[in-house]
């Protein structure tokens, strides 16, 4: 494999290109993805190189886009659908949770639907209403869907290929505030074993005092918080979930049994968020190892605010550090 510095947008584009090259059944579809290259230019140049039979624009009708993708998957294709923004996915919610998630089960395993639904999600870009939401809990709660999110460009490059190769429907959540962050991307063919490993958590750094769990846009925030904590003498383990469904919690359990403390961080609303499930599972599995209650650091229970107030809504490095200090004192 060769390595090259790329933004997450570049990593996604390269991963989609690799999948289109590798499998003629892969199709890309969505609003403005062909002529414009998508709102964030993730699909830029792909229609030109692969033609309008494989990369094509759709009407502005999310329910119709998903319904068409489901029909294409039944006919043997592997559609990759782009939803322009997180808040625009809800017109397609019925198709996703009642058709896409259930059809393989409903057909007794005879008709898989290998569809990837790409959704830019989360805040931090100063966007208007319905452009900064974090809807992952809806999809994680739905049996039959896999949910995955990258935290950097290399993970995006590898993860989108693993999602497209997966026989199950995948909700692929792209943290838009990280779209322009650069990282070294290891370009090359993704093996079947590498693709399978993408569904596991990864440990970014190890520490003996506390376990910090995050995913998507919060991974960088938590890594930077861990650097600040190190200056205070607190050694933190940082774990990137990557796969939100299915969850790979064994690395978290192993770490908490060593540290005795755990903090879970996500942008989405705290109430019934993914952090609640992780906290409950950690208590169930690691009760006798815990030195303090599991802490959640997340969005408040309010609609996403206007952009000028979003800095008060989003978990920050300072909030993560303060949460860890609180748990360490517990």
**Centroid of chain to Cα 245:** 10
Burial of 17 (0-12, 13-18, 19+ CB in 10 A): middle
Please indicate whether residue 131 is annotated as part of the active site.
Answer: yes
Which among 22, 103, 130, 131 is annotated as catalytic?
131
Task: Give catalytic residues, as residue numbers.
Answer: 131
């Amino acid at each position: 494999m060769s390595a090259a510095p790329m933004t997450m947008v570049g990593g996604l584009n390269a991963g989609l290109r690799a999948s289109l090259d590798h499998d003629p059944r892969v199709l890309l579809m969505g609003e403005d993805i062909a002529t414009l290259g998508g709102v964030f230019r993730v699909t830029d140049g792909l229609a030109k190189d692969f033609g309008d039979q494989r990369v094509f624009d759709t009407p502005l009708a999310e329910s119709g886009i998903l319904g068409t993708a489901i029909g294409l998957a039944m006919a043997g294709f592997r559609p990759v659908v782009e939803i322009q923004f997180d808040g625009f996915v809800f017109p397609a919610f019925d198709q996703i949770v009642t058709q896409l998630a259930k059809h393989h089960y409903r057909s007794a395993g005879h008709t898989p639907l290998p569809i990837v639904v790409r959704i830019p999600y989360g805040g931090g870009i100063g966007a208007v209403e319905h452009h900064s939401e974090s809807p992952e809990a809806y999809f994680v709660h739905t049996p039959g869907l896999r949910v995955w999110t990258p935290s950097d460009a290399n993970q995006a490059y590898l993860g989108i290929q693993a999602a497209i190769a997966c026989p199950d429907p995948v909700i692929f959540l792209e943290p838009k505030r990280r779209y322009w962050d650069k990282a070294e991307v290891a370009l090359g063919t993704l093996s079947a074993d590498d693709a399978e490993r993408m569904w596991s958590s990864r440990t970014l750094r190890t520490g003996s005092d506390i376990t910090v769990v995050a995913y998507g846009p919060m991974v960088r925030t938590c890594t930077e918080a861990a650097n600040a904590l190190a200056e205070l003498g607190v050694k933190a383990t940082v774990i990137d979930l990557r796969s939100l469904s299915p969850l790979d919690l064994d690395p978290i359990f192993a770490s908490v049994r060593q540290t005795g403390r755990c903090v879970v961080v996500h942008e989405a609303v705290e109430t019934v968020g993914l952090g609640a499930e992780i906290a409950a599972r950690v208590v169930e599995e690691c009760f006798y190892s815990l030195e303090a209650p599991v802490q959640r650091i997340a969005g408040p229970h309010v609609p996403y605010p206007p952009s000028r107030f979003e800095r008060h809504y989003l978990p920050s490095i300072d909030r993560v550090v303060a949460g860890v200090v609180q748990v360490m004192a517990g």
